[in-house]
Each structure stands twice: as structure tokens, then as C-alpha cells.
């Protein structure tokens, strides 16, 4: 089981790293493009155009790339007449208060508008080339966004499968340690009564209330069976506690009797419930088996503390 959990954890970790991973570090590419803008703008443009848009995974990187690309286009003499590229940079730098880069972006925007003012409507080749450049830029961003969505969906699906595998693993493990048939029968019986009691408290139906009370009375009326079933439940939920009592020589009935103490009942309450004249003798015999004399702690306190100790 532990081996399975380790493998599953390793799988989830690898999946998270894969889903968050990128194809590389784009900052050096942007740095080199900026360095050669003045001397080799054509090389800067090619490098910027070839950048994998998935690498531009922050608003800051997308803004810087858009500004450098706009500057490279201008220096290469490639005119664009739309502001879709430069506004990626301008909007970001205005938002973050980067006045220096915002000023550079505005200079590019002013040049673009000047080109748009001067170009003749009949110069369809220039207009078409400008549209191709802008569409190429936006299409690459759209493809990167789509790829990110696909990666996100795939990662989410794989994580869901991993979670499902983990749930199945724990369910199987739980089923392997499920209560035995005796305990399940007792649990079902008591839950059925509890469900009716809850329903009767919620409902204003007097008939349902009386029915739930009658079922509870019937269950509690068979005192011997109630002690037996209580012991069965405790053996399932607190096996170490019951094992300790048995190791001290207590019978099943006496163990069930001790379970009543751990439910918070006092000796007087238990005596009245079991209706046995030998109640005090029974209590004395159990104290002897547990190694308690008459001057030791109250048996109710002792048993509740014992239950806590065996659960640690």
C-alpha cells in the first residue's frame, strides 16, 4: 500500500511539473534582440518573430515582446497601420506605472498612426502586408493560448484520474478492513432507529414520533442483547480496548457491561438498566479482574481513561 501511495505521489508531482513547465527561458532572447535593435534590426525582428508565444507566459513578457517587435518593425522599415500589437505593451506599462516603457510604446503608436495617415487607400499591397503581420502576431498568441488550454484540460484530466485512483485505493483499503457481518448488522439496526428518531424530531407527525420511540424501546428492552451488540460495536471501533478487557479475563457480557461505562453512564444508571440485584457484586468482580481495589479510582473514570490510552 505504501509503495502504491509513493508511486501515485510521484506521478502527481511529475504531472504538476509537466503542466507548469515551459519550453525554455525567453528573457535571454528578448535581451539579445534589444541589444541588436540599432545595429541589426532585421536579426532582432526574425528572433522576435520566431519566439514561441507559449514562452511569453506573463503579462510583463508579452508586453516587452510586443514593444520590441514594434520597434524592430519600425527600424526594419516594415510599416504597420493597426495598433493591436503595440497596445499589448502600452496597456500593460500604463497599468503598472512604467512611464519609461510606456513612453517608448507611445512613440511607436504615434509612428504607426502617422503611417496610417499617410498610406493611400489604393495601396492595397502595403495594407495587406500590414494586416498579415498583425494577424500573424495575434494568431500565434491565439494558438499559444489554445495550447495552454489544451495542456490545462489534459493536466486537469490526468489529475482527476490520479485523484480517482487515490479514492479507489482508499475505498479498496477501507473495504478490506470493513466491519464484519455481526458489526454491520448492529450498525444497520441502530442507524435505522436513529434515522427514525431524527425524522420524528424534524417532522410534526405525532405518529412518526411515537413509532420512533417504540422502536427505541424495543431495541433497549432486550438488555442482554443490547450489551452483546454494544460489545460487538466496541470490538469493531475500539479493538485494543476490548482486547485488553479480554486479556484480564472479562467475559463478553462483562466487556459489554464495561462499554456502558465508557458511554458516560454511572454505576447507578447501569444497575437500574440491567435490573440485576447482583449489580454491585458484578462491579466488584470486574474491579478485581482489572486489578482495582476498593480505594482505587472510580471504575467509570478508569474505563474511559483506559479507552483513550488504548486508542493512542
pLDDT, position 13: 46
What residues contact residue 294 under an 8 Å CB cut-off, 6+ apart? 287
Helices (H), the chain: 2-20, 27-35, 41-49, 59-75, 84-96, 99-118, 124-176, 181-202, 206-221, 223-237, 239-247, 252-262, 267-274, 279-289, 299-311
- pTM comes to 0.44
Angle, CA 64 vertex, CA 61 and CA 69 arms, to 5°: 120
**What pLDDT, on a 0 to 100 scale, did the predictor assign at position 175?**
47
| Residue 44, pLDDT score | 86
Q: Residue 195: count other Cβ atoms within 10 Å of its Cβ.
A: 11
What is the reported pLDDT for 17?
44
Low-confidence ranges of the chain (pLDDT < 70): 1-24, 144-180, 203-204, 277, 294-296
What is the structure's pLDDT at 185?
A: 81
**Angle (nearest 5°) at CA 10 between 5 and 11:** 95
Given this model, what pLDDT does residue 168 score? 54
Amino acid at each position: 500500500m505504501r509503495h502504491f501511495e509513493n508511486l501515485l505521489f510521484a506521478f502527481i508531482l511529475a504531472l504538476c511539473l509537466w503542466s507548469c513547465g515551459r519550453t525554455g527561458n525567453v528573457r535571454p532572447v528578448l535581451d539579445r534582440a534589444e541589444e541588436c535593435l540599432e545595429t541589426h534590426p532585421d536579426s532582432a525582428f526574425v528572433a522576435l518573430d520566431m519566439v514561441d508565444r507559449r514562452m511569453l507566459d506573463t503579462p510583463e513578457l508579452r508586453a516587452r515582446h510586443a514593444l520590441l517587435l514594434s520597434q524592430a518593425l519600425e527600424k526594419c522599415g516594415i510599416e504597420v497601420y493597426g495598433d493591436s500589437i503595440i497596445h499589448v505593451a502600452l496597456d500593460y506599462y500604463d497599468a503598472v506605472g512604467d512611464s519609461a516603457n510606456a513612453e517608448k510604446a507611445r512613440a511607436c503608436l504615434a509612428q504607426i498612426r502617422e503611417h496610417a495617415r499617410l498610406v493611400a487607400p489604393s495601396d492595397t499591397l502595403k495594407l495587406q502586408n500590414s494586416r498579415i503581420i498583425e494577424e500573424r502576431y495575434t494568431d500565434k498568441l491565439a494558438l499559444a493560448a489554445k495550447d495552454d488550454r489544451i495542456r490545462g484540460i489534459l493536466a486537469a484530466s490526468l489529475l482527476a484520474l490520479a485523484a480517482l485512483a487515490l479514492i479507489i485505493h482508499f475505498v479498496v483499503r477501507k473495504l478490506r478492513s470493513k466491519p464484519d457481518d455481526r458489526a454491520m448488522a448492529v450498525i444497520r439496526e441502530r442507524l435505522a432507529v436513529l434515522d427514525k428518531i431524527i425524522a420524528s424530531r424534524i417532522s410534526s407527525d405525532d405518529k412518526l414520533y411515537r413509532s420512533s420511540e417504540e422502536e427505541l424501546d424495543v431495541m433497549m428492552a432486550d438488555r442482554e442483547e443490547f450489551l452483546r451488540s454494544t460489545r460487538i460495536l466496541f470490538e469493531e471501533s475500539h479493538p485494543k480496548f476490548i482486547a485488553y478487557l479480554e486479556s484480564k479475563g472479562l467475559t463478553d457480557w462483562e466487556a459489554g457491561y464495561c462499554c456502558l461505562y465508557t458511554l458516560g453512564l454511572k454505576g447507578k444508571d447501569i444497575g437500574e438498566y440491567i435490573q440485576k440485584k447482583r449489580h454491585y457484586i458484578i462491579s466488584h468482580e470486574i474491579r478485581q479482574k482489572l486489578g482495582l481495589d476498593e480505594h482505587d479510582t472510580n471504575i467509570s473514570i478508569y474505563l474511559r481513561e483506559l479507552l483513550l490510552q488504548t486508542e493512542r
